[in-house]
Structure 1
Amino acid sequence: MSPGIPVLLFAPLIVCVLALALDVRLGEPRRWHPVVGFGRLATALEKRLNTAPKDPFRSLLAGLFSVFLLTAPVLGLAIWVSVELDGVLLILIQAVALWLAISLRGLAEHGRAVAEPLRDGDLEKARDQVSRIVSRKASALDEQGVAAAATESMLENGADAVFASLFWFLVAGMPGVILHRMVNTLDAMWGYRTPRFLYFGRMAARLDDLMGWVPARLTALTYMLLGQRELAWRCWQKQAPQWDSPNAGPVMAAGAGALNVRLGGPSPYPSGVKHRPVLGGTQHASSDSVDGAIVLVQRGVRLWLGIVLVTTALLMLMVYL
């Protein structure tokens, strides 16, 4: 057996462990975050090219061109690096790229920033903190509404900012995780059903749905396995199809069921009250459900790493045999 085979087989696991260690130790970069820079570039490009939002054909074409213009050069560079480099240098570069794409520590910090004032009875502070992570009208939320919004954010962002990044790295390496992060960012910026973005943002939204389809269901499965399994499965099967997002539905329903917490329902937004389907079990959302969602994501990451380790060990065994 070639000496390089063990390193090749264990490289994905090593990269994931290093990236998560960087995330736990350093969190998200406070300055010069590439995703922030990418978002600013996307904003500037959208202002320049989205000049005819009421014309469906021109707006769709402008959105398609914008997605290509923003993603193609970065994706090409990621592919070139993955092909031309190898060994320890490539592992380190991949680890940094994955670290910049995931946000496990940041997710927990944002969630706890809401849960702690809720426990202390400081509703105003909890509203202020939840307004940083959701688009709801925080001033109109009561204690339960704040807790539900934060719990939903932990579950949904666990899929988008943690598990989807791990999935795309394991499936397609550094190019996969970078492309997913770019597409997910563009969807978060442009994927609105407003007059300005209805057509322009459609390509980004559809690409994000496509890239998120498998990771979302793996995330839902993860939540189900680590929580109240029977309830999570029933919620996933019966409630998820009622949700307007094909990927958020399974994640939110399975997560709410796993925690046996009641989520969804009417929620106030700046544009008015949005009536959403009810998800989950019977218990009201609280600071405990926010903490529970954080723990569910963290345990899920450990489960995924364990599966990668076992899979790698089996591959090694097959090589030796």
Structure 2
Amino acid sequence: MSDVMPVLVSLPLVMVSALLLDALLGEPRRWHPLVGFGRLAAALEARFNRAPGSVFAGMFAAGLLVLPPVVLVFWLSRWLDGLMLFVLQVLGLWWALGWRSLAEHARAVALPLAASDLPQARHQVARLVSRDTAQLDAEGVAAAATESVLENGADAVFASLFWFALAGLPGVVLHRLVNTLDAMWGYRTPRFLYFGRAAARLDDLLGWVPARLVALTYALVGHGRGALRCWRRQASQWDSPNAGPVMAAGAGALQIRLGGPAPYHGGWRRRPVLGEGETASADSISAALRLLRRGVAVWVIVMMGIAAT
């Protein structure tokens, strides 16, 4: 029992420390591990993604990229102890978080949008989403940014906290690297339909439980009945099994409408409407950030309660 309790007690401390580092410093400006990982992933994709129907090649490349860092972190976590282990955990979780960066990008959209500067708002939202932002009106810009806060908050903040609580730093690294590969390769295009399938399916698997906990969290800290109603009725209509519950519950919690047709560089894509109530605006971007902030506070409090028992 004495060997278990220090680990349990340290979980909230590591989480709070990493969240504070993220709030104070944001993402590392130089030598960010995910930036280097992304470059390596692009190089391996160019090397291995040559033959059509290359599911095995994508699986091999994903394993080659993900397994060595996870094994290294697992070994370091077993070898280090005390202050050195605490520092490793805090730094590793901080590198995985993207809370401040997401908030900064979202506010950079909300401010010009509130000032009726649509060209600048379009320019800024292009840094958050992959759709053709030049064709978005003010409502489309606001909806895109709000959707990004809800979905990326689930991936880059809540899922990292979940996997740290469940499997320590190796779990965080596994999820974050797979999630990064899904963001790079998980497109249903001729180039990535087969090559990115392994990364996309593994990301769906790793994100299944966190996504539903996030949807429940949005219901808890927002408009609860609306969030649960939208989650139940609309989530299954979305093409992603994890983004559906997160965005449907988030839209319901905020009492706004998201989703709907959206322009991408390959043309307009039909998407179901999520949520209910008012159309998205600059205020809904700020409201989504507040929802995320309240949700993180709830998770930290819950972890403190678990550690205290």
> TM over 0.5: same fold?
yes
Provide the secondary structure at the position in 2 that maps to 1:134: coil
Larger radius of gyration: 1
Give the aligned partner of residue 154 of structure 1: 149
Equivalent-residue separation in structure 1 for 2:38 and 2:301 (angstroms): 34
Q: CA deviation at 1:6?
A: 4.7
CA-to-aligned-CA distance 1:129-175 (integer Å, 9 cap, x gap): 00110011111101111000000000000100000000000000000
- Aligned AA (2:143): A
Structure 2: runs of 5+ lacking an equivalent: none
Provide the secondary structure at the position in 2 that maps to 1:262: strand
Structure 1: runs of 5+ lacking an equivalent: 315-321
Correspondence 1:37 to 2:32: no
CA-to-aligned-CA distance 1:270-320 (integer Å, 9 cap, x gap): 111111000001201001100000010111100000000111111xxxxxx
Instruction: Calculate the TM-score normalised by the size of structure 2.
Output: 0.98
Correspondence 1:81 to 2:80: no
Q: Give the count of matched residue pairs.
A: 309
- Aligned AA (2:194): Y
Q: CA deviation at 1:259?
A: 0.2
- Aligned AA (1:158): G
Give the aligned partner of residue 167 of structure 1: 162
One of 60, 63, 68 as aligned partner of 1:65: 60
- Aligned AA (1:301): V
Correspondence 1:127 to 2:126: no
Equivalent-residue separation in structure 2 for 1:8 and 1:71 (angstroms): 25
Instruction: Calculate the TM-score normalised by the size of structure 1.
Output: 0.95
Give the aligned partner of residue 220 of structure 2: 225
CA RMSD of aligned residues (A): 1.0
One of 93, 99, 108 as aligned partner of 2:103: 108
Give the aligned partner of residue 214 of structure 1: 209
Q: CA deviation at 1:122?
A: 0.6
- Aligned AA (2:8): L
CA-to-aligned-CA distance 1:86-128 (integer Å, 9 cap, x gap): 1111011010000000111111111100000011111110000
Equivalent-residue separation in structure 2 for 1:177 and 1:129 (angstroms): 29
Give the aligned partner of residue 8 of structure 1: 7
Provide the secondary structure at the position in 2 that maps to 1:193: coil
Equivalent-residue separation in structure 1 for 2:268 and 2:48 (angstroms): 32
Equivalent-residue separation in structure 2 for 1:6 and 1:232 (angstroms): 36
Equivalent-residue separation in structure 1 for 2:145 and 2:217 (angstroms): 20
Give the aligned partner of residue 49 of structure 1: 48
One of 242, 246, 258 as aligned partner of 1:247: 242
CA-to-aligned-CA distance 1:178-225 (integer Å, 9 cap, x gap): 000000000000111111111110000000000000000000000011
- Aligned AA (2:308): A
Q: CA deviation at 1:5?
A: 5.7
Between the aligned residues of both structures, percent identity stands at 62
